[in-house]
Structure 1
Amino acid sequence: MNLLFDYDGTLHDCARIYIPAFREVYRRMTEAGLTPYREWKDTEIIKWLGYSPRDMWNAFLPSLSDRAKETYSEAIGTFMEEQTALGKAHLYPGAEVMLEELKKEGHVLLLLSNCKTAYMEQHRKIFQLDRYFTGYYPAEAYGYQKKWKIFPLIKKKHPGAYVVIGDRFQDMEIGARWGIPAIGCTYGYGKQEELRKANGIAGSIEEVKQQIDRIGDRAG
C-alpha cells in the first residue's frame, strides 16, 4: 500500500523551530514599520503550520506587497534552516520506529508537504529519511498548488491503493476529493473539526500504525 505522509505536525514537531522564527521575523517587520507591535501566543502561531508559505502570507497579511511577503517568507525559512542546522529540529518520539516498521512491512512511503524544496531536502538529509521514503513532493516544486491537486501527479508515478496521513484539513481534503482513506493526527497542529472526515484518528505516533493496519485489514 502507498502511504502518503504529511511532514510538519505529523512526523516533525515543527513548532520548535517555527515559533521562534515567526516571532523573530515579526519583530523585524515591526521595526520596519510594516506591522504594529503585539505579543503572539504559541497557539496563534502554530495555526499557520500546514499552510504553504504563499497561502500563509496571503491570509496573515494580505495587504503586504508581494515583494515583502516573499522577503519575510524567505527570512522565516532561513531562520528555520539555521535552527535545524543547530540541531533544534526534532521528529516526534517514535516516528522513526513507526516508519521503519511500515517500510519493513512492504508499504511504499511518500512525503507530500506544503513546504519549500530546500526545507524538505535539508530534513531529508539530517534525518536520513531515504531509509524510509521512496518519493518526496514539496509543494514549492508544484507552484504551491493545493495538495489535492498535486496528488494525481503522485499517483501517476506510484499507482495502487493509498492512505493519507496528516494533521490538517489540507490532508483530509486529499482523501475527500479522491475517495481514499485518510488518518487524522490529533497530536499535530490541526483542530478537531479539521479531522472530522478522517477514516481513522491517531492520538499519538504509535496509533498511526494501528490505524494503517486497521484500514489495510478492511481493504484486504
Structure 2
Amino acid sequence: MDETSLKKIQTIIFDYDGTLHDSTANYIAAFKMAYNYLIENKKADPREWKDEEITKWLGYSSKDMWGNFMPNLDVEHQTAASKIIGEQLLKKVLAKEAILYTGALETLGYLRDKGYQLIFLSNCSEKYMNAHRQAFQLNQYFEDMYCTETFDYNAKYKIFELIEKQYKDNFLIVGDRIQDFEIGHYHNLVSIGCNYGFGSEEELQQSDLRINDIQELQDIL
C-alpha cells in the first residue's frame, strides 16, 4: 500500500467489538446462557464449546449470526435467544464490566485532536451502542455513531453508501471482520485489520494493512 494513501485520509470509520472493545468474556458468557436456554427448550443438544467457536460470531449482526449458526431454528426461539444475549451484554455494560482495549480511548483522542473525523459503525443494536456511548463517553470522540440495527441490519458497505456524503472524502476503515473490509472492497477505500480481534486469518488478509495493537494507529496516522 502506498503511504501517500494514508496521508490523504480525513475520515476514519471504526468497528467496535474486536477493534476498540474487548467483548470476549462477556459475549462467551452471554452466548452460553442463550444456548442453555435452547437446550432447556429442546432446541439444541448439550455440548462443550471452545472460546473461538463462540467468538467467531462477534462482528455478525444478530440476523446473520443465527442464519449461519442455527439456520433451522424457528424465529421465536432465535428471537428469545438473541434477547438473552443482548440483555446479558447490556447488564455487563451497566455494571461497568465492559472492557476497552488498552489505549483505545487515548488513540481516539489523539486522532480526534489531529483533525480526523471519527465515525462509529458497528453490527450491533441501538441499545448496545447507546449503553457503550454513555459508559465510555464516546460522543467525545465520534462525530457520529451508527449501528446496523438502525438500517435493518444491512451490510456495512451498503450503510456506507447512505452516509458517506455527510463526511470528508478519503476514508479509512478500521476493523477486524470481513464485514468491515467489504466497505473498502466495494468502495475502493483503505482498510486496516486488527490482528487482536475476532477475524480469521483469511478475513484479515482482505485488509490493506494490519496492526497488533490499537495504539499503533498513533504511529501510522
After TM superposition, the score normalised by the length of structure 2 is 0.93
- Give the letter for the 1:37 counterpart: P
Could you say which residue in structure 2 is the equivalent of 1:216? none
| Aligned-residue offset at 1:39 | 1.0
| Aligned-residue offset at 1:159 | 3.7
Q: Which of 72, 84, 95 is the equivalent residue of 1:63?
A: 72
Question: What are the within-5 Å matches in structure 2 for residues 30-69 of structure 1?
Answer: 30-69=39-78
Between the aligned partners of 2:104 and 2:72, the Cα distance in structure 1 is 39
- Give the letter for the 1:18 counterpart: Y
Deviation string, structure 1 residues 12-66 (Cα, Å, up to 9, x no partner):
0011210100011111111111100001111100000010000001111111111
8 Å Cα contact 2:178/2:206 also seen in 1 = no
Q: Which of 167, 178, 181 is the equivalent residue of 1:169?
A: 178
**More divergent stretch after superposition (17-26 vs 193-202):** 193-202
Q: Which of 164, 180, 186 is the equivalent residue of 1:155?
A: 164
- Give the letter for the 2:90 counterpart: E
| Aligned-residue offset at 1:209 | 3.0
Question: Is residue 18 of structure 2 the alignment partner of residue 13 of structure 1?
Answer: no
Between the aligned partners of 1:142 and 1:209, the Cα distance in structure 2 is 31
Between the aligned partners of 2:93 and 2:151, the Cα distance in structure 1 is 24
Could you say which residue in structure 2 is the equivalent of 1:76? 85
| Aligned-residue offset at 1:142 | 0.2
8 Å Cα contact 1:16/1:89 also seen in 2 = no
After TM superposition, the score normalised by the length of structure 1 is 0.94
Between the aligned partners of 1:2 and 1:91, the Cα distance in structure 2 is 22
8 Å Cα contact 2:96/2:135 also seen in 1 = no
| Aligned-residue offset at 1:197 | 2.5
Q: Which of 91, 95, 104 is the equivalent residue of 1:95?
A: 104
Q: Which of 187, 204, 209 is the equivalent residue of 2:196?
A: 187
Could you say which residue in structure 1 is the equivalent of 2:3? none
Q: Which has the higher contact order (CA 8 A, sep 6+)?
A: 2
- Give the letter for the 2:97 counterpart: K
- Structure 1 residue ranges without an equivalent (≥5): 214-220
How many residues were matched structurally?
A: 212
- Give the letter for the 1:40 counterpart: W
Deviation string, structure 1 residues 78-103 (Cα, Å, up to 9, x no partner):
01111111121111010011000000
- Give the letter for the 2:104 counterpart: A
Could you say which residue in structure 2 is the equivalent of 1:218? none
**More divergent stretch after superposition (189-198 vs 118-127):** 189-198
Between the aligned partners of 1:208 and 1:193, the Cα distance in structure 2 is 22
| Aligned-residue offset at 1:191 | 1.2
Q: Which of 121, 144, 148 is the equivalent residue of 2:130?
A: 121
User: Sequence identity of aligned pairs in percent?
Assistant: 42
Between the aligned partners of 1:61 and 1:17, the Cα distance in structure 2 is 21
Between the aligned partners of 2:25 and 2:211, the Cα distance in structure 1 is 21
Between the aligned partners of 1:186 and 1:148, the Cα distance in structure 2 is 21
Between the aligned partners of 1:128 and 1:134, the Cα distance in structure 2 is 12
